[in-house]
Chains A and B, each alone.
Chain A
Amino acid sequence: MPSETFSLPMSEQKRPRSRRFVEREQRELRRELLIAPHPELGLVAMNGPNDPEPGLDVQDGRVVALDGRAESEFDAIDHFIARHGLDLDVADEAMALDDGELARRLVDVDVTREELVRLARGLTPARLARVVALLDPVEMMFALKKLRARRAPANQAHVTNLKENPALLAADAAEAAARGFAEIETTVGVSRYAPLNAMAILVGSQTGRPGVLTQCAIEERRSLQLAIQGITTYAETLSVYGTEPVFVDGDDTPWSKAFLASAYASRGIKVRFTSGGGSEALMGHAGGCSMLYLEARCLCLARAAGSQGVQNGSISCVALVMSVPAGSREILAENLLAAWLDLEVASGNDAIASHSPTRRTAKLMGQFLPGTDFVTSGWSVMPRYDNMFGGGNYDASDIDEWLTMQRDWQVDGGIEPLTEEEAGRVRERAARAIQAVFAAFDFPAITEEEVEAATYALDSRDLPDRDRAADVAAADRVLAEGISGLDVARELDRRDFTAVADAILGMQRQRVSGDYLQTSAIVEPTGTVSAAVNDPNRYTGPGTGYRLDGERWQRLQHLPHELDASALDEAGEEREPVVLEKHVANLGNRSDDVVIALGPAFADGLQTTIGGLAHRDVLEALTQGVREAGAQPRLVRVRRASDVAFIGHDGALLSGSGIAIGVQSKGTTVIHRADLQPLDNLELFGMAPSLTLDSYRAIGRNAGGYALGQRVGPVPTVMDNFARAKLIVRTTLLHARETAAITPDAPAVELELL
C-alpha cells in the first residue's frame, strides 16, 4: 500500500471542538465540579473502604466493643453512643438479623414503623449505614414515607435580609406563616442584631398565623439567652459531627451538646440537632470513612443525647456530597436513617445544591415525594439575594413552581397558595405591628415609607437604609433590659394589635406546658400541638397514613392563577356579525374556484384564533391572497365536522377547482384537494399560534396557485416547540367549542363576508 495515500483516521487527528460539547460546557451545571471518590479524604458517599465492620460486644450490660473498636480505643463519640445510644435489650436480636433481612423489612409494608424503630434501637452506626445503603432510591423513599415520625409533613422557612430591616423581616415572616410554614428561622449578618431580628420574626410570624415556631441561628449562648427571654421558641443550631477531631474543632463534646439540649428544654425551647454528610471531610477529619457512616454516628449520637430530632441531609455541605457518585442517594439515606432512629427530620434542601434547577429538583424529589417532618429546613421566602444562610435552594421566585409541583403530584410540601391581596394585607399588618413594637420600646422609628416598602418590596434594596448603629444599640437594650416575649405581647395589646398580642402570649403559654418538646412537634393555629406522640405516622399501605385529600387538597390545588375552564373561552359579548349565512353551498363550476371552508364556530361562536387574530382579518387575508394569485375565493361553512382535515376536504369536494382551504376557529389551517384522502393534504399549518395575517395571505395565494395549476412553493412556517405546552389547554377548550357547534349531517352553507 503506497504510504503517501494513507490518511490518519479521524480519531488520531487534531479534531475541532464539537459545538455541542462547547455549548454544554457553558451551562450552569458545569460550574460545579464532579470528582471521583477519594476515600482517604472522606469523599465517598457510602460503603467506604475504611468503614468498620459492624459489631457489638456487650459484657455484663456494658458495651465493650462497638463497630470494630474495643472500649479502650473508644473516642468520645463511641463512649457516648455506647453509654446512651443503644437499647441493649434489643441489641442481640437486632444485630443478629442480616443486612438483607433488615433492608427488606424497611420496605415491607407489613412491618410497622413501631417494629422498625424498636430494632433500630439495638443497631450500631456501622450496621445502620450498611443496611440503608442496600436500598435503591425508590426503596429509600418508600421507607422514608413509612418511617416519618409525624403523620403530616410540614415545612420550614428562612427569613433574613441583607439590611436586617425589621419591617421587611416581619413582613416576610408574616407571609411565610400565612403560607403555612410551621417554623421560621432567621439569622444575622451582624450578631448584635440578633435580638431585633428574632423579635421581628416573632411578631411577623404570629401576625401571619398563630402557632408558628421561630428561631434565630446564632452562637449558642446568645441563642439560649433569646430563648430564655421568650423571643424565640426553638433552636436547631446544635451541630454534631461524626469524628472526634471535628467535634472538638466545633468547640463542643457530645456531653456539652447534650447538656445544652437539656438546658434549652429546661427553658421550654424545642431543640433539634444538626448534622450532615460531608462536614467531616470539609473540616479535614473524615478519618477515611464514608459520609453515610459518619452521619450514622451523628444520628446515633443525636438520639443518645435525647434530641427529639435533627436537621440533616448534608445541609450546608450538600454541594460537596453531590460532587461524588451517588451523592443524592446518600443524602436521602441520611434522612431515612434519622427517621428510622425515630427522630424528627428537617431534611435540608435549604443550601443551594446545584446551579442547575433540574438537578436541584431531581435531588428534592427524594424528600418531597415521601414527605418529611420539614421538607426543607429553610425555604427562602424572600429572594435569594437576601438569604443570609448561604441558602435559597428554593426562593421567593420559585413559589409558583413549588405550589404547582404539589398540585401535579398531589403531594403536600407544606406551602399554601396565597393571593397577592392576602399577601399584601398580612405583610402590611406585620410591618405595622413591628413598627408599633419599636415605638413602644423607643427603638429607632420604623417609618411609613419602610412599612410601605416592606409590604410591596422585591428585596431589601427596595427599603430605605436605617441607622444601623442606632439599631444595634436598641438590640443591646433587649438583652440588657431583659425585654421579653411577654413584654412584646403587652405593648402590642396596648396598641390595639390584640390578635397578634394574643398569639405571642399563646407561644409563651406553649413554653409553660412544654408540649412542643416532644418529637416532631408543631403548633396548630388553634394552639394545639401536633407531634409524633398524638399524631403519629401509621402508614401501613395504600390508603393509610397521610394522604393529601379533602379540604387540604382543595386548598393546595386551587392556585390563585388557576383559571376556570368555562371562563377561558371568549366572553359572550355582542359583536358585529362577520359573515352572513346565505344558502346550502353549491358545487362550484369555475375552474378558478377556491373554497375557503370554515369550522362550525368560525366567526360565529368564536371570533379570534388562538394566536389572537380576529376571524374577520383572517378571512380578509385569505380571500385577498386567493385573489392575488388570480383565483376566486368562495366562503362556505362546514357544519358537520370540526376536524380541520374534514373541513378542508369537504370544502375541496365543493370547490370547482378541487382546491380548498380549511380553517378551524382556533386558526389551524389546511390546503386540501378533492382527490386526496381526507387526512392527507397539500399543506398543513398546525402551528396556529405562530400564523400571522401574512401567513394567511400566503396560504390564500398558494391555494389560488394550486387551483390555477401553477408551481407553488410551500408557505414557510415557524416552529415553536413550546407552543403546545403553552396553548394546549386553550386549544382543547376552543376545539370543544367548535365541536359543540357541529350540526350532524348538515350540509355546508355558503357565506358572505360582511
Chain B
Amino acid sequence: MAFDPTADYPLGTQRPDLVRTPGGLGLEELTLDALRSGLLGAAEMRATRETLELQGEVAQAAGRAQLAANLRRAAELTGVPDEVILEIYTALRPHRSTAAGLEQWADRLESDFGAPLTAAFVREARAVYAERNLLSADERAKETAV
C-alpha cells in the first residue's frame, strides 16, 4: 500500500510495515524475547534514513516546511558516524572554521555521506560566516592581510 503522509501517521501504529531498523528488523520484532535471544543491539534501535524521509513527508503534508527540511537533513545524517556529527557541529560553531574548512565538510557530506541538503546548508553557513566575521581567527587574519 502506498504511503499517505496525511493519513499514515503515526507510522509506528498506522504503518509499522514501512518501518525497519538499520539491520532490517520490523517494529514487531523488537520484543523482550528478541532481546533475550540476543537479536537486538543498541545500533539497531534508531531510525533509518527512509523512516526519517517518511517523517519529513508527514511534516510537509501537515504544512510544516521547515520541520520537513530538518527531517530531510536528519535523514541524510543517519549515515554519518557519531564522531563526525560532533566534529561538524563543532566546525559550525562560531570562529572555529576557515571558509575552506567548511567547504571541505560540505564536500565530504556530499561525496562520502550522500548528504547534499546538509552540504548546501554548510555552504550557506560558510557564506554568511565570511560576511559576519564568524570564521576562525586565522581566516580573519588572512582576510585582513589581503
Residues of A within 8 A of B (CB): 75-76, 79-80, 83-85, 87, 114, 117-118, 220-221, 224-225, 228-230, 244, 248, 251-253, 255-256, 258-268, 303-308, 342, 482, 484-487, 489-490, 493, 498, 501-502, 505, 508-515, 517-519, 527-529, 531-534
Contact = CB atoms under 8 A, between A and B. Distances in A.
A527 to B, nearest CB: 7
Nearest first, the 9 closest Cβ-Cβ pairs linking A and B are: A306-B70, A265-B74, A513-B12, A484-B42, A266-B77, A255-B125, A256-B92, A262-B73, A515-B10
A268 B47 contact: yes
A418 to B, nearest CB: 28
Contact of A514 (B11, B40, B41, B70): B11
Given A85-B66, A511-B46, A79 B89 contact: no
Given A118-B63, A306-B70, A513-B12, 5 more contacts: A83-B124, A498-B32, A517-B52, A533-B10, A534-B9
Given A258-B121, A533-B9, A533-B58, A266 B78 contact: yes
Majority SS of interface residues in chain A?
Answer: helix
Contacts of B128: 76, 79-80, 253, 255
B27 A509 contact: yes
B70 A253 contact: no
B62 interface: yes
Given A255-B125, A502-B32, A512-B51, A262 B118 contact: yes
Given A263-B74, A266-B85, A308-B67, A501 B47 contact: no
Given A268-B47, A306-B66, A498-B32, A259 B118 contact: yes
Q: Which one of B16, B63, B93 has the highest number of Cβ atoms from chain A below 10 Å of its Cβ?
A: B93
A265 B32 contact: no
Given A221-B89, A255-B124, A514 B132 contact: no
Nearest to B68: A306
B65 interface: yes
B70 A307 contact: yes
B32 to A, nearest CB: 6
A509 B92 contact: no
Contacts of B9: 515, 518, 531, 533-534
6 contacts: A76-B134, A255-B122, A259-B122, A485-B42, A490-B35, A513-B51
A303 B76 CA distance: 20
Contacts of A75: 132
B119 to A, nearest CB: 11
Interface in B20-56: 21, 27, 30-32, 35-36, 40-42, 44-47, 51-52, 55
Contacts of B80: 266
Nearest to B62: A533
Contacts of A490: 35-36
Contacts of A303: 66
Given A259-B118, A306-B69, A527 B12 contact: yes
A514 B35 contact: no
B11 A513 contact: yes
A531 B14 CA distance: 14
Contacts of B86: 221, 224
A460 B101 CA distance: 49
A528 to B, nearest CB: 5
A531 B122 CA distance: 30
Contacts of B58: 518, 533
A513 B16 CA distance: 8
A263 B35 contact: no
A236 to B, nearest CB: 15
Contact of A265 (B42, B70, B132): B70
Contact of A518 (B13, B32, B47, B55): B55
Nearest to A534: B9
A266 B75 contact: yes
A513 B64 CA distance: 19
Contacts of A268: 45-47
A84 B78 contact: no
Nearest to B117: A262
A513 B13 CA distance: 9
A440 to B, nearest CB: 14
Nearest to A271: B70
A310 to B, nearest CB: 12
Contacts of B59: 518-519, 533
B134 A513 contact: no
Contacts of B132: 75-76, 79, 244
Contact of B27 (A114, A512, A528, A529): A512
A513 B46 contact: no
